[in-house]
Structure 1
Amino acid sequence: MRIESLFDQQTQQIKIAVDCIIFGFNNNRLECLLIHREAEPQKGKWSLIGGFIGNDEDLDEAANRVLYNLSGLENVYMEQVKAFGKANRDPRGRTISITYTALILRSEYDDDKIKDHGAKWFPVNDLPELAFDHIDMVEAAIIRLRRRVRNTPIALNLIPEKFTIPQLQALYEGILDEPLDKRNFRRKIAQIEAIVKLGEKDMTASRRGAFLYAFDENLYNNTQYFNL
């Protein structure tokens, strides 16, 4: 039998989708934004926000469109995580999904858009039952995030531009899900030139206040040093 005839017998009909794992940081914990499914399949379960890719749409464009439609945010830090393609992952037909991680500052998202989609934030350590293979997607994204935050400044997308060292330590403890030694953390921060001490203080935490810091992207681009 000719090879061509084998393909004729089994014409592939595969859909390609993107799913966004949207992380935010609140109350010293890493959270994930989920939507409540109002239609089949798996109606009533929580899921990631996603969609199919248009014929003339690039992968990154599709991911940014999905994120904007849910949150109203543009120019958000996103990175591709992994492709999920088990044959039976979607009962509607063979679908391959490319997952993206998005890190957003929760104070900037559009509350009305969130409510329109029936979305809700959940701590990553206390997620509800998720539709399809979305729990595998979230777990893969968390593993990648925890690895990446130690040697890149991407975690800073989750907090305001000005921050204190205690706030920064709480952020890393929330992402890594482990306590960090205060003295050792401060020592490592002092070695990163791109984290710059400002001549301002946050007076909300104590009478003496805590100095504010900011991330200098130009300094980082020149040094490329970031190690926590």
Structure 2
Amino acid sequence: MASCHLSLSDLLISTNILPNMLGTFLLGKEIITYCGCMTQFYFFSGTTVAECFLLSIMSYDRYLAICNPLRYSSIMNMMFCVNLSVCPWLFSFTFNLLAVLPVSEFDFCADNIIDHFYCDLFPLQKLSCSDTSFVELEIFVFSLPIFILPCGFIILTYAYILHTTFKIPSTAGKQKAFSTCSSHLLVVGTFYGTLIAKYMIPSKGHSLLMNKIVSLLHTVFTPLFNPIIYSLRNQDIRTALQKLSQIQ
């Protein structure tokens, strides 16, 4: 179930950003309203926060499957799965107001051209004529539990998974355990790599061009990369690809 919500998160990130971006690049539609900008920033930030928790839930699912397989069915019952899937969305979009409301109070008294392909924190800070240092510090402090705690939880669960995997006597069992976790680790690496580069490094530590590149990776390539990773784990899809390569 968490994988379905992860796919939904990737879909929301892309559909929130790409239509306006394509309209700018292809049709020259370069205007976005103030309310539209704040709405885009809110949904993008909320979906990103939800994905942080969804990835940690998926790591817990793999921890139970490998470290406590006999108790997996009793713990991961339907009601518990629904709660684990719904709570990240409720929490993220509620907690995200703490980031969006201060940004909405920025004063934009000079240039109104956003040097970016969507409304994000860093270009809005550059555009504002207000003192944004307090808001930047506030968002950085609030981002620590949102980003670091799920990431730390993932590292902890995989430490237990590795410890359990190395105790498996058969080579086939070890390979199966590593195969179960490899796709999730790739997704976690790409997601948190771009996220840390965008938000955990202070704005003075990177240029706007670098921020655009990382944002493109986060909003386009990461959602595109995730389905490919999980699809290649599906035996039916691998069999179909093998048959297709043999035909060609």
TM bin, normalised by shorter chain, reads under 0.3
Question: Greater RCO between the two (CA within 8 Å, min separation 6)?
Answer: 2
Q: Normalized per residue, which structure has more helix?
A: 2
Instruction: Output the TM-score relative to the length of structure 2.
Output: 0.20
**Structure with a larger share of its residues in strand:** 1
